[in-house]
Chains A and B, each alone.
Chain A
Amino acid sequence: MTSPIDSRGLGKRFHRDWALRDCTLTIPEGAIVGLAGANAAGKSALLSLAAGLLAPSEGSIEVLGRDPLREPSVLAEVGYVAQGAPLYRSFTVAETTEFARRTNPCWDEELAADVLKLIAPRTKVGSLSAGERARLALALALGKRPKLMLLDEPFAGLDPLAGREFLQLLMDGVAETAATVVIASHVIADIERVCDHIVLLTGGGVRLEGNVEELLESHRILMGPRRPLGSIRGVRSIVRERHSGRQLTLLVHGYGPILDPSWTVERVGLEELLLAYMAPERMPVPVPPERLPLRWHG
């Protein structure tokens, strides 16, 4: 079975700066993947590479088992919703869907119409509201009956109601097409409701990746009196450490139950977990400048 997205050592450089570096990923088929990370963490670069819009500077990426640049035919099976849903503003809605119908061999008129619902077909794209424009872009992507959907910050610019409606229509389309989905968002609350797999990018690299349930199961918050930290039984590594007064709060990656009764153990939510991993790794302790003995010559 080929993975919907399979990248090996993938990197993309713009001039001197690496937007993405050493990205090795295998996305499971049928997953709804939340691609999380701060702005400029490499999310858009990864999606553009997967959509065949950019060529890798190093490494490789395969989409549905094929190289999107060498075999662009694979893109007929990829629905891509770019950031801000760029569309021809002077086209009407009907002209836009007509264009999609003629350029896509497997176009599903009914599915696209389900998403468009009550948008008047003669409306010019330029005069649609943000929510309607997002729906049109979604209809164009879903109408292809894609095996893979890529969405870049689809909720940016949508009010909460339009955002929820967009998510409902997207999930309905996924139930219908069984597509694998990758949603890039820097707002975790927007994707938490639906994603079952997480890829967290920081500084152009993969910081954390895995099944959401497994990630939440393997992490815990420990609270207890402040103490020197040696190794704690059941804890593989400490992700984040916080002190307040005499209280110590740890977010840990564990391998088994925390039996030490002096810790209060709690589960962690997805947003808090990702924020902890997004924070810069351990702040470096400032080293005082070495005190040089003053020497007087002469």
Chain B
Amino acid sequence: MIEFHLDPRSGVATYLQIVQQVKEALRLGTISVGDQLPTVREVVADLAINPNTVAKAYRDLERAGLVVARQGRGTFVASTLAPATLLPHYEALRIELEHWLDAAVGAGLDEESIRALISATLRETLARWVA
């Protein structure tokens, strides 16, 4: 089951952080159709946040058609964001990326430089593919 974490310093509203984490998990296929999200009470007891915030996040996800709430039973994933093309390659790509990251850390790059390098390269590469 997905476990939420909060970054109070991010400046991103708490309910949005929850929405983003669910979407990310859907995109990476770590949760898929039929899986249950933690109940509002579970999230609240875990993170010590306002239950209205969790409910609002789940309502947003429901409105986007990503989850459905079943009365008295909980909230379940209703659709996926993972592109069908990703899943077969997912594990292989993840391992390649891990190797690359090992090399980057080994070369002495810190987290910020790694992020900067990745996002710059990603931009350039995507631009090339679109063109």
Indicate which residue in B40, B41, B48 contacts A193 across the interface (CB closer than 8 Å): B48
**B29-37, B49-57, B81-89, B110-118 - interface stretch:** B49-57
Does B50 contact A32, Cβ atoms closer than 8 Å?
yes
Q: How far apart sit A174 and B51, CA to CA, in the bound complex (Å)?
A: 7
Query: Secondary structure at chain B's binding surface: helix, strand, loop or mixed?
Result: helix
The answer to whether B44 has its CB under 8 Å from any CB of chain A is yes
Between A and B, how many residue pairs show CB distances below 8 Å?
45
Contacts of A192 in B (CB 8 A): 8
Does B44 contact A32, Cβ atoms closer than 8 Å?
no
Does A164 contact B48, Cβ atoms closer than 8 Å?
yes
Does B44 contact A193, Cβ atoms closer than 8 Å?
no
The answer to whether B103 has its CB under 8 Å from any CB of chain A is no
Indicate which residue in A32, A168, A195, A196 contacts B45 across the interface (CB closer than 8 Å): A168
B8 to chain A, nearest CB (A): 7
Q: How far apart sit A172 and B47, CA to CA, in the bound complex (Å)?
A: 10
Contacts of A32 in B (CB 8 A): 50, 52
The answer to whether B11 has its CB under 8 Å from any CB of chain A is yes
Does A172 contact B50, Cβ atoms closer than 8 Å?
no
Q: Which residue of B lies closest to A189 (CB)?
A: B8
The answer to whether B13 has its CB under 8 Å from any CB of chain A is yes
Known contacts A176-B41, A193-B8, A196-B53: A171-B13 contact under CB 8 Å: no
The answer to whether A285 has its CB under 8 Å from any CB of chain B is no
Query: Secondary structure at chain A's binding surface: helix, strand, loop or mixed?
Result: helix
Contacts of B52 in A (CB 8 A): 30-32, 196
The answer to whether A194 has its CB under 8 Å from any CB of chain B is yes
Contacts of B46 in A (CB 8 A): 168
Interface size on B, residues (CB 8 A): 15
The answer to whether A167 has its CB under 8 Å from any CB of chain B is yes
Indicate which residue in A30, A31, A171, A176 contacts B49 across the interface (CB closer than 8 Å): A171
A267 to chain B, nearest CB (A): 6
Interface size on A, residues (CB 8 A): 20
Does A171 contact B44, Cβ atoms closer than 8 Å?
yes
Contacts of A172 in B (CB 8 A): 41, 44-45
Q: How far apart sit A194 and B47, CA to CA, in the bound complex (Å)?
A: 10
Q: How far apart sit A267 and B10, CA to CA, in the bound complex (Å)?
A: 11
Q: How far apart sit A193 and B47, CA to CA, in the bound complex (Å)?
A: 9
Contacts of B44 in A (CB 8 A): 168, 171-172, 174-175
Q: How far apart sit A258 and B110, CA to CA, in the bound complex (Å)?
A: 35
Does A194 contact B50, Cβ atoms closer than 8 Å?
yes
Does B48 contact A175, Cβ atoms closer than 8 Å?
no
Does B49 contact A267, Cβ atoms closer than 8 Å?
no
- The residues in A between 142 and 169 inclusive whose CB is less than 8 angstroms from any CB of B are 164, 167-169
Does A196 contact B50, Cβ atoms closer than 8 Å?
yes
Q: How far apart sit A269 and B12, CA to CA, in the bound complex (Å)?
A: 11
Residue-wise, chain B 39-83 has the 8 Å CB interface mask toward A (1 for contact) of: 011001110111111000000000000000000000000000000
B59 to chain A, nearest CB (A): 14
Give 8 pairs: A residue, B residue, CB < 8 Å, sorted on A: A32-B52, A167-B48, A171-B45, A171-B48, A175-B40, A193-B8, A193-B48, A196-B52
Given contacts A174-B44, A175-B44, 16 further A-B contacts (CB under 8 A): A164-B48, A168-B45, A168-B48, A169-B45, A171-B44, A171-B45, A171-B49, A171-B50, A171-B51, A172-B41, A172-B45, A175-B45, A176-B41, A194-B50, A195-B50, A196-B50
